């Protein structure tokens, strides 16, 4: 059925409480068994042309959707709706203390990638600084700059990598499964970034570490995101970074 469908099948029923689509971040608040949960996703947009078809045809009505129907918009052809769906999925996933630890993804890449072939998919603030810390570094980007490679180079560089770090935005745009399949079976594979679904289903597909986010102050994060906050601002408003480890999860089940 595929990775995305497998994750969808694990999600609980609930209610959509609020949907905010900010300049940089989309936030969805859901209620599950009387508990408020909140998920994040990067806001993807299709166009800045306000006279074309709308990015969100259902604007103003998204809270009326059954929560699982909102999550299924991950299959939409509208980038903004895929962001809403991802934030919904991230909100529905349980945020218990199961094996989640505060771990810096940059530190993992730096220590595990020493003297090794490393590929990072996505531009992060720390990526260029990694060049002197690992054996060899390739950075893949949709719009490459400087020494970055275009995303079309993935089939050439991923099979050679000992460590692969993939932005969670690839879950939103639907490329994550293909990218994971290009990785060697013995490579260390990380999914990182606030959009990353903290779902153990990803472990079944060859991922070793999930570095994502948990919203700890829903009201402040909603308010900040709706006023165009970037992630640094959102983090300060009330977001906790957490890493889930496949090895620790496997030992616990």
Q: Which of 17-31, 98-112, 168-182 shows the lowest mean pLDDT across its residues?
A: 98-112
Confidence (pLDDT) at 56:
85
Q: Of 82 and 108, which is predicted with more confidence?
A: 82
pLDDT tens digit sequence for 144-174: 998 899 999 999 999 999 999 999 999 999 9
**Assigned fold of 3-92:** Enolase-like; domain 1 (3.30.390)
Q: Of 5 and 102, which is predicted with more confidence?
A: 5
Locate CATH 3.40.50.11590 in the chain: 100-214+240-252
Confidence (pLDDT) at 251:
62
Confidence (pLDDT) at 100:
55
- pLDDT, average across residues 32-44: 95
Q: How far apart are CA 226 and CA 243, in angstroms?
A: 26
pLDDT higher than 70, residue 48: no
Locate CATH 3.30.390.100 in the chain: 3-92
pLDDT category, 102, cuts 50, 70, 90? low
Confidence (pLDDT) at 106:
87
Q: How far apart are CA 70 and CA 83, in angstroms?
A: 10
| Whole-Å CA distances, 11 to 26, 68, 78, 89, 111 | 19, 8, 22, 7, 34
Question: Which pTM does this prediction carry?
Answer: 0.93
pLDDT category, 122, cuts 50, 70, 90? very high
- pLDDT, average across residues 188-194: 96
pLDDT higher than 70, residue 43: yes
Q: Tell me which of 3.90.1170.50, 3.10.620.30, 3.30.1330.80, 3.40.50.11590 is the CATH number of domain 100-214+240-252.
A: 3.40.50.11590
Q: What is the mean pLDDT of the chain?
A: 91
pLDDT higher than 90, residue 95: no
Confidence (pLDDT) at 204:
95
């Amino acid at each position: 059925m595929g990775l995305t469908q497998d994750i969808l099948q694990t999600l609980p029923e609930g209610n959509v409480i609020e949907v905010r689509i900010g300049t940089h971040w989309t936030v969805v608040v859901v209620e599950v068994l009387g508990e408020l949960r909140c998920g994040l996703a990067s806001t993807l947009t299709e166009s800045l042309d306000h006279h074309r078809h709308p990015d969100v045809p259902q604007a103003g009505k998204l809270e009326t959707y059954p929560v699982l129907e909102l999550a299924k918009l991950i299959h939409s052809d509208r980038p903004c709706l895929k962001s809403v769906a991802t934030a919904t999925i991230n909100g529905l996933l349980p945020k218990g203390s199961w094996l989640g630890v505060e771990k810096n993804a940059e530190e993992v890449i730096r220590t595990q990638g020493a003297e090794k072939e490393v590929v990072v998919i996505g531009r992060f603030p720390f990526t260029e600084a990694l060049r002197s810390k690992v054996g060899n570094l390739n950075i893949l980007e949709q719009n490459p700059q400087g020494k970055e490679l275009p995303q079309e180079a993935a089939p050439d560089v991923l099979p050679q990598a000992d460590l692969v770090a993939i932005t969670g935005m690839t879950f939103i745009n639907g490329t994550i499964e293909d990218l994971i399949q290009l990785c060697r079976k013995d490579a260390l594979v990380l999914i990182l970034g606030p959009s990353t679904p903290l779902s153990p289903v990803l472990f079944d597909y060859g991922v070793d570490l999930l570095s994502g986010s948990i919203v700890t102050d829903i009201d402040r994060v909603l308010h900040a995101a709706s006023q165009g906050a970037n992630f640094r601002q959102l983090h300060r408003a009330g977001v906790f970074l957490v890493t889930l480890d496949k090895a620790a999860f496997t030992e616990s089940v």
